[in-house]
Structure 1
Amino acid sequence: MRQSILLQLVTLCLVSITWLLTSCSGFADRQTSVVEPRVTVSTSAIPAALLTQAQTLLHQETGIPQEQMQLQASEAVEWSDACLGVVQPDRLCAQVITPGYRLVMTTPQGEYVVHSDRTGNAMQIAQSP
């Protein structure tokens, strides 16, 4: 009886470990994807500080001078998660509606899309040329 229970526990542990290893494999091979937000207001005015933060982020990530960046479009949106609609396989996101902005910036290298929350505390490049 004791051996039977021990055998069942060992089998359960092995199955659980196998399941965990197979479900976690391949994360490095997956691409980042973008989830489209629900637009609440189109082409809305954004706070000047938020635009400056977006330009600073783009400059830090790309090296493009801020003077060469132009805001092409902006819209107030509600992101479906705390990751601002930018899905990365190695990152967990709180599934909570997050008000924010989608900014389209043009540069000599092409068009960049920046996602932010409403305050600018969370901001990331969602698409690049």
Structure 2
Amino acid sequence: MRQIIFVCLTLVLLILVSACSPALNSDAVNLETAPLEADSPSPTATTTSPNPVTVLPAALTERLKSFLVAETAITSEAIALQQFEPVDWNNACIGVPSPEEFCAEMITPGYRIVFNTPNGAYVVHTDHSGQTIRLAESPSD
């Protein structure tokens, strides 16, 4: 019985630790793009600091494009960064939980990004480092 409790506690600890990931290297090359205008943020997020990020790290942009390629089968060349905004998500599920998922309640800095594609706009949520990426909206939604 003690072993089962130990294993369960270890799994919970691993889940919580995996939700906290290191930030991207600050030496990353940046894209030049403007942040989103102040539209209404999702109820699970708040926009961050008074000094908004004006560029999204290129490595993060490429990781997000690769994610969209895998999700949509659209070529990377046909995916264009439209806009983004820094967001402090209220949980580790970055505003896109699945019904059977437990989301650690913690502030998770990240981004809400909109990509233009031939199929329409896709909205992607991510944490600051790009370790957690979730498709929040697609043209078919």
TM-score by length of 2: 0.64
TM-superposed CA distance for 1:36, in Å, is 4.2
Larger Rg: 1
TM-superposed CA distance for 1:109, in Å, is 0.3
Q: Percent identity?
A: 43
Alignment correspondent of 1:88:
98
Distance verdict in 2 for CA 1:69–1:43, change over 3 Å: farther
* SS state at 1:84 partner: coil
Alignment correspondent of 1:37:
45
Q: Which has the higher strand share?
A: 1
Tell me if the contact between 1:82 and 1:94 (Cα under 8 Å) persists in the aligned partners: yes
Amino acid at match of 1:66: S
Alignment correspondent of 2:24:
none
* SS state at 2:83 partner: strand
TM-superposed CA distance for 1:45, in Å, is 1.2
Alignment correspondent of 1:111:
121
TM-superposed CA distance for 1:87, in Å, is 2.4
Work out which of the residue numbers 81, 94, 119 in structure 2 matches 1:71.
81
* SS state at 2:48 partner: strand
TM-superposed CA distance for 1:71, in Å, is 0.6
CA distance in structure 2 between the partners assigned to 1:43 and 1:110 by the alignment: 25
Alignment correspondent of 1:97:
107
Aligned residue pairs total 96
Tell me if the contact between 1:38 and 1:78 (Cα under 8 Å) persists in the aligned partners: yes
TM-score by length of 1: 0.70
Question: Where do 4+ consecutive residues of structure 1 move more than 4 Å?
Answer: none
**Unaligned regions of 5+ residues in structure 1, if any?**
1-33
TM-superposed CA distance for 1:81, in Å, is 0.4
